[in-house]
Amino acid sequence: MVVTVQGVDRAVSPKQLDPYFPDHGDPRYRVHRYELTLDYRPGPNRLGGTARLSALAGPEPLREFVLDLAEFRIGRVLVDGKAAHYAHRAGRLRVKPARPLAAGAAFTVEVHYSGNPRPVRSQWGGLGWEELTDGALVASQPIGAPSWFPCNDRPADKASYLLSITTPSPYAVVTGGRLLTRTTRASSTTWVYEQAAPTASYLVGVAIAPLERVLLVDGSVGGVPQSGHVPAELVDRFAADFARQPQMMRFFTELFGPYPFDGGYTVAVVDEELDVPVEAQGMAVFGSNHVDGVRGSERLVAHELAHQWFGNSVTVADWRHIWLNEGFAKYAEWAWSEHSGGLPASTHALRAHTLLTGLPQDLRLADPGRRLMFDDRVYERGGLAVYALRRALGDGAFGALLRDWTAARRGGVVTTADFLAHAQRYGAVLELLEAWLFEPALPPLV
């Protein structure tokens, strides 16, 4: 697809390498299912097991392909059950099947590996597997997934997941999706989860720690099942801080459309301070510093929940379009505030606009560049772009736009061009959106 904006051709395709991270992912094939059978020992921070990937070759014969995987020890690599040649360097596992794979062929690759997982280094610090004082968590956005399993690490390559994780019995294993079984043998427990919905590799989250389960909504009596997994000493604070999440869920389902995942929504709180909460598909991870007992981080509760629609179900084809994740999640903070008796969205928008007025005007929201993709201006200006669209269309058409967008694109990948084409069906808003998305200068707030 090519979108022409003020004379500039903007070619976008989810079948290409991500321009921000061209050394991650391989567009020559697609994975449609991961089956991870893992054993984790928190004391020595030791992870080992098997990853089985079911995939499809692209339109050309596949003589070799690449998986992203950190520096683990490789036991063996099989393609369709037969030993394959491989080379493992600098986080890239290059696999050469015994025979080339035909164009469009279905195939499986099985990797046996073990080692001490550690975060992937990046300009934002460590990403992915993080060892805690007592346990571990996964925070992979944008390129941390290879820190713990072999994957085609590009957001456009979404797949279903079956995760079987064995760990000492005092530890809970929390991830998104539906818990199928929990089996204890001797001193170890195996937790098996199914995430059937298409999931990007960076959105597979895990928390492993001594945690107690807190039920917020029992799905058997209606509503989206919601639970928390919390250190025992923080249960009371959690109950106060997340008491309004079920109301938030009801509001967002009215505003954005049905909650997109069958397994419900889980929040894990770890006994560590985190700079920001961690979004993942069907779950979010908060730090102990986000749980104060007086709802001091409720805007973040709203932000992470909104990502289940914007970012997780509807996922960016590549990281140039990150505003489609963060702009809508920021706007959701303002919408919840307005709905729940706090400051109206207009006041939040005015404050954000005033803040941005005093900052450099050198960011293009629809393609901020790798260096600035997590800049606060992407979040604030993204929220303002969504708010400006609401103002231009009116609440009725704006609500229809949001619900139709999440329904039509559920489980898929999108670009800014896709959103522009969608938005124009509800009103003459192309010029408005072009100013917010493609021009560095901050448009006026009207």
pLDDT, one tens digit for every residue, the chain (446 residues): 333 333 333 333 445 789 999 999 999 999 999 999 999 999 999 999 999 999 999 999 999 999 999 999 999 999 999 999 999 999 999 999 999 999 999 999 999 999 999 999 999 999 999 999 999 999 999 999 999 999 999 999 999 999 999 999 999 999 999 999 999 999 999 999 999 999 999 999 999 999 999 999 987 777 999 999 999 999 999 999 999 999 999 999 999 999 999 989 999 999 999 999 999 999 999 999 999 999 999 999 999 999 999 999 999 999 999 999 999 999 999 999 999 999 999 999 999 999 999 999 999 999 999 999 999 999 999 999 999 999 999 999 999 999 999 999 999 999 999 999 999 999 999 999 999 999 999 999 98
Q: How far apart are CA 413 and CA 31, in angstroms?
A: 14
What pLDDT is recorded for position 15? 59
The sign of the torsion formed by the CA atoms of 386, 387, 391, 395 equals positive
Tell me the residue length of the chain: 446
Amino acid at 68: D
Cβ neighbors of 276 (< 8 A, separation 6 or more) are 300
CB contact at 8 A, 374 and 124: yes
326 is in an annotated binding site: yes
Q: How far apart are CA 127 and CA 414, in angstroms?
A: 24
Residues known to be catalytic: 304, 379
What pLDDT is recorded for position 236? 97
2-5 and 128-132 beta bridge pairing: unpaired
**DSSP characters over 128-176:** EEEEETTEEEEE-TTT-GGGTS-B---TT--EEEEEEEEEETTSEEEES
Peptide bond into 61 cis (omega under 30): no
What pLDDT is recorded for position 72? 98
CB contact at 8 A, 132 and 285: no
Closest CA to 136 of 47, 232, 237, 264: 47
Q: How far apart are CA 401 and CA 256, in angstroms?
A: 9
Q: What is the pTM of this model?
A: 0.95
333 is in an annotated binding site: no
Q: How far apart are CA 70 and CA 302, in angstroms?
A: 33
CB contact at 8 A, 3 and 417: yes
Q: How far apart are CA 107 and CA 21, in angstroms?
A: 26
> CA–CA distance from 58 to each of 144, 151, 231, 369 (Å)?
25, 16, 46, 28
Q: Which residue ranges form the domains of the chain, and what is each CATH number?
A: 22-203 (2.60.40.1730), 211-311 (3.30.2010.30), 318-438 (1.10.390.10)
Q: How far apart are CA 43 and CA 40, in angstroms?
A: 9
DSSP 370: G
Two structure tokens written together for 16: 């290409």
178-185 and 188-199 beta bridge pairing: antiparallel
Closest CA to 119 of 99, 98, 136: 136
Two structure tokens written together for 128: 């992915």
Cβ atoms < 10 Å from Cβ of 215: 10
338 is in an annotated binding site: no
Q: How far apart are CA 45 and CA 115, in angstroms?
A: 8
Q: How far apart are CA 411 and CA 200, in angstroms?
A: 10
What pLDDT is recorded for position 222? 77
- Core vs surface per residue 322-348: b (16+ CB within 10 A) or e: bbbbbbbbbbbbbbbbebeeeeebeeb
Start-to-end CA distance of the chain, whole Å, equals 31
Q: How far apart are CA 223 and CA 246, in angstroms?
A: 8
Tokens 């923080």 correspond to 234
What pLDDT is recorded for position 219? 79
Map residue 179 onto helix, strand or coil: strand
Q: How far apart are CA 208 and CA 193, in angstroms?
A: 14
Q: How far apart are CA 382 and CA 372, in angstroms?
A: 13
Q: How far apart are CA 91 and CA 277, in angstroms?
A: 26
Q: Which helix (H) or strand (E) is 389 found in, with range?
A: helix 376-393
